[in-house]
Structure 1
Amino acid sequence: MFRISRLVVCLLVALVVFPPAALAQGTPPASDDQQAVAQAVIDNMIAGDFEAAAANFNDSMLGALPPDTLSQMWDTLLMQVGAFQSVDDEVTSQAQDDLTTYFFILRFEQLALQASVTVDAEGQVAGLYFKPAPEAPAADDPSAAIARAVIDNMIAGDFEAAAANFTDTVLAAVTPADLEQAWNQFVQQVGPFQSVDDNVGSQTQGTLTSYAFILHFEQATLAAQVTVNEDGQIAGLFFTSPDTSLDNTPYEPPAYADESAFIEQDVAVNAGTEWELPGTLTLPVGDGPFPVVVLVHGSGPNDRDETVGPNKPFKDLAWGLASQGIAVLRYDKRTNVYGVQVAAQADFTVAEETIDDAVAAVELLRDTEGIDPARIYVLGHSQGGYLAPRIALQAEDLGGVIIMAGNTRPLTDLIVEQTKYLLTIDDGTFSDADQAYLDDTTATVEATKNAQPGDDPVMLLFNAPASYWIDLNGYDPVATAQEVTAPILVLQGERDYQVTLDDFAGWQLALEGRDDATFKTYADLNHLFLSGEGDPNPTEYQTPGHIPQTVIDDIAGWITAHS
């Protein structure tokens, strides 16, 4: 579950704007020279000299981001965050293999951004990325010290002390021995621990505050997210790729969201259990009772908005549908809230990851004031769509099922297909190193397809336990969908390279002849149902956007027709 690899980063949409091409071999320039190259990119953009800013871009970068496009990107930033004001003197860096990434804090009128400039062994710029700068907790914040103590004690190897402030629920799921085992697994996979950044991000939701610590290991960088409750106890601990943690990008509502048409309420899925999940019920204004949609996430430790970079597709769906009189429940995924606890489960499957919580959300709504229990719909995106038929059979008596970019082919097959695509997307070439990587991935996929009880998770995809893959290897979404008696709506973006029109055709074939099955594709939409042009790639997920109104209208119209 914790393996940080090129494959995992690609599949879980890590925030890398322009991934570097294969590096030429040579004598690396001095570190100061590399930093000067990165600094020149920042200084020239600030000065408005985009020809000079792009002067040291490698061929891949220059093809994707020529000076005129770089200028447009900068202008877009200024429109979003206001005029540039200053750049901090302190520059931090992170080295991995032949790449060094330098982090600059740029302060604009409305927001501070972190600019990451990656320089390769030849002194060429191989990556450029902007994200909101981490928000430092207040110096007198006692919760920050409690969270930091967890990190410091794990680093020191004192796991009893690290777990001293765990809530009873967390401690029941993750003992000090479990914590030690997880830490040792990290070290085994990504090398010895090296350092932790002083800069700490934070985010508060209700009575919980989460702190993000950036941990550097020999072979990778991880973000540790520690959640502290109002009593000063540790209510969550989770490790992820650093660029996915606590993105504080302000949400700009889409034009179709009428904020006067709905209210939002805090709710809890699995309330009172060890897997209690915080959620939001978006409820239309009025008497009701209203139809309601439960949103089920894709793969990865998603929050309730299914946040990817600056985009929040589940929030778009919630606000868009509620503006048309349809309530929506969204919640933080179990692996988002209880990452370490989940990783400690030897028999973990998609039932614990996704299905059980989606069914619990449906049951919560059956007894919720203002909701029509006869009109509860489940909407699954990506892996959530793949599992939607299974959820529907377990939840029973749903008003309908909506599948957005759900695959009908096994996830293992998709991984090989996606890997091939991503390895050639930069310049169309396929190097010996690419072939070796693909061969390694294919071997891991074959081991995963043939997983047996007791197999070492390190040998399987995502380092998930054998139980996870044995369960999925036996799941047929097409056959399961044929057992679902509720109406089904299947939506697909034609620019989706992760789940493709081949999967869409699988749903069509499975449900052929059913009058209550509806199918719709969108020519310019990608996997997140965001508009784009040209060959789809992970970098476009970092472009701010919204699910188009036509998708919202299609879902709302279908629900109305089947209510």
Structure 2
Amino acid sequence: MVLKNIFGLAVLFMTGLLSAQLEEKPVTLTTETGNIQGTMLLPRHSDKIPVVLIIAGSGPTDRNGNNPMMKNNSLKMLAEGLGNHGIASVRFDKRGIAESTEAGIEESSLKFETYIEDARDWIDLLKENDSFSEIVVLGHSEGSLIGMIASQDPTVDRFISVAGVGEPAAKQLERQLKAQPSFVWEQSEPILQNLEMGKKVDSVPQMLYALFRPSVQPYLISWFEYNPQTELAKLDKPVLLIQGTTDIQVDMQNVEQLHASNPKSEKVILEGMNHILKEAEMDRMKNIETYSNPDLPLKDGLITAIVDFIKNSGR
């Protein structure tokens, strides 16, 4: 019992020591439609260090990887994990979300390119800071595609895709719709075909309205234009692809598609890691339970893989 208590105190001491070595600063990106708020996490250092721009995935996701329905703190933990290894980071609320509400725009005006431009603007902001030795972009889920396009900027030194999709969004959506009862796909197919051709659809069945409502169609049309394999192939710089085996949102074939499109990329498969970067079973209900558990740590090996790539790969 005494040994257990001593061990527990030692863990608490080390955790507190690591936290004390990190400095958290608010950072703001000024845009034409309002400010986007973020957090810069800095290890205490004297030399120049790498900085990672963390780009969140789809939906109303904030800088910590949370949304109004689920709190898991995955991206916050990711930033802290990097910081404890001497790597700075910037993470931010998506425009219109959390403390970046004022930067929100009308849904009908939102395009996929809006998020790409935001990422590029964050990269430009990081360029102005002479504390950093290199800029690394890390995109999670939908943020992977955003990040790989923004990383075509020559000042970005490395790109990391975590749970990134490997084919155009329309193909993923088609597969999901075909898995539904046949009448769902029968009504969806002509809508999806028109959107892929860049054509809006005025009449949408009520059953499909949430997915294909007219106001969201401009975003879908712009998103469907991009093929992740084509975009990743354009990157002539170190690339790391990370995928978990128990991800119920993005399956393993996606990382293989991305790797094939850029054969020089490094690929890391983490057994038992799900979409929010936590240890999880493949059972859907048990897997989803982790999405609302902010106390569950990141999957072992994730931070190590990223740190090793940043500090050792391509040098």
Residue aligning to 1:129 = none
Alignment of 1:313-352 (within 5 A): 313-336=74-97, 337-338=100-101, 341-344=104-107, 346-352=108-114
Offset, 1:297: 1.2
Residue aligning to 2:129 = 368
In 2, the alpha carbon distance for the partners of 1:255 and 1:530 equals: 20
Instruction: Report the secondary structure of 1:335's partner residue.
Output: coil
Residues 447, 310 of structure 1: alpha-carbon distance in 2 compared, 3 angstrom cutoff: same
Q: 1:413 aligns with which of 171, 177, 185?
A: 171
Amino acid at match of 2:292: Q
Amino acid at match of 1:402: I
Alignment of 1:179-218 (within 5 A): none
Q: 2:249 aligns with which of 480, 498, 519?
A: 498
Residues 339, 469 of structure 1: alpha-carbon distance in 2 compared, 3 angstrom cutoff: farther
Q: 1:396 aligns with which of 133, 154, 167?
A: 154
Offset, 1:341: 4.4
Residues 397, 502 of structure 1: alpha-carbon distance in 2 compared, 3 angstrom cutoff: same
Task: Extract unaligned runs of 5+ from structure 2.
Answer: 1-13
Residue aligning to 1:557 = 308
Amino acid at match of 2:280: G
In 2, the alpha carbon distance for the partners of 1:326 and 1:446 equals: 44
Instruction: Report the secondary structure of 1:413's partner residue.
Output: helix
Instruction: Report the secondary structure of 1:265's partner residue.
Output: strand
Residues 531, 350 of structure 1: alpha-carbon distance in 2 compared, 3 angstrom cutoff: same
Residues 418, 495 of structure 1: alpha-carbon distance in 2 compared, 3 angstrom cutoff: farther
Offset, 1:339: 8.0
Instruction: Report the secondary structure of 1:362's partner residue.
Output: helix
Do 2:82 and 2:303's aligned partners in 1 also have CA atoms closer than 8 Å? yes
Do 1:294 and 1:377's aligned partners in 2 also have CA atoms closer than 8 Å? yes
Offset, 1:449: 2.7
Residue aligning to 2:44 = 285
Instruction: Report the secondary structure of 1:317's partner residue.
Output: helix
Residue aligning to 1:449 = 196
Residues 532, 419 of structure 1: alpha-carbon distance in 2 compared, 3 angstrom cutoff: farther
Do 2:245 and 2:270's aligned partners in 1 also have CA atoms closer than 8 Å? yes
Amino acid at match of 1:502: Q
Do 1:258 and 1:319's aligned partners in 2 also have CA atoms closer than 8 Å? no
Of the structure 1 ranges 305-314 and 466-475, higher mean CA displacement relative to structure 2 is found in: 466-475
Post-superposition Cα deviations, 1:363-410, rounded to whole Å, max 9, x if no partner, equal 1111125222xx1000000001123221112x3221100000111112
Alignment of 1:453-468 (within 5 A): 454-456=200-202, 461-463=211-213, 464-468=215-219
Do 2:142 and 2:165's aligned partners in 1 also have CA atoms closer than 8 Å? yes
Post-superposition Cα deviations, 1:153-190, rounded to whole Å, max 9, x if no partner, equal xxxxxxxxxxxxxxxxxxxxxxxxxxxxxxxxxxxxxx
Amino acid at match of 2:125: L
In 2, the alpha carbon distance for the partners of 1:443 and 1:303 equals: 34
In 1, the alpha carbon distance for the partners of 2:17 and 2:73 equals: 13
**Percent sequence identity over matched residues?**
24
Instruction: Report the secondary structure of 1:445's partner residue.
Output: helix
Residue aligning to 1:534 = 282
More helix by share: 2
In 2, the alpha carbon distance for the partners of 1:442 and 1:256 equals: 55
Q: 2:28 aligns with which of 244, 250, 268?
A: 268
Amino acid at match of 2:266: T
Task: Extract unaligned runs of 5+ from structure 1.
Answer: 1-253, 424-433
> TM-score, normalized by length of structure 1?
0.47
Aligned residue pair count: 289
Post-superposition Cα deviations, 1:468-493, rounded to whole Å, max 9, x if no partner, equal 23322321221221111121000001
Do 2:77 and 2:298's aligned partners in 1 also have CA atoms closer than 8 Å? yes
Which one has more relative contact order, counting CA pairs under 8 Å at least 6 apart?
A: 2
In 2, the alpha carbon distance for the partners of 1:313 and 1:403 equals: 15
In 2, the alpha carbon distance for the partners of 1:536 and 1:519 equals: 25
> TM-score, normalized by length of structure 2?
0.82
In 2, the alpha carbon distance for the partners of 1:327 and 1:335 equals: 25
Task: Name the Cα RMSD after superposition.
Answer: 2.7
Instruction: Report the secondary structure of 2:34's partner residue.
Output: coil
Post-superposition Cα deviations, 1:51-93, rounded to whole Å, max 9, x if no partner, equal xxxxxxxxxxxxxxxxxxxxxxxxxxxxxxxxxxxxxxxxxxx
More strand by share: 1
Do 1:385 and 1:405's aligned partners in 2 also have CA atoms closer than 8 Å? yes
Do 2:136 and 2:159's aligned partners in 1 also have CA atoms closer than 8 Å? yes
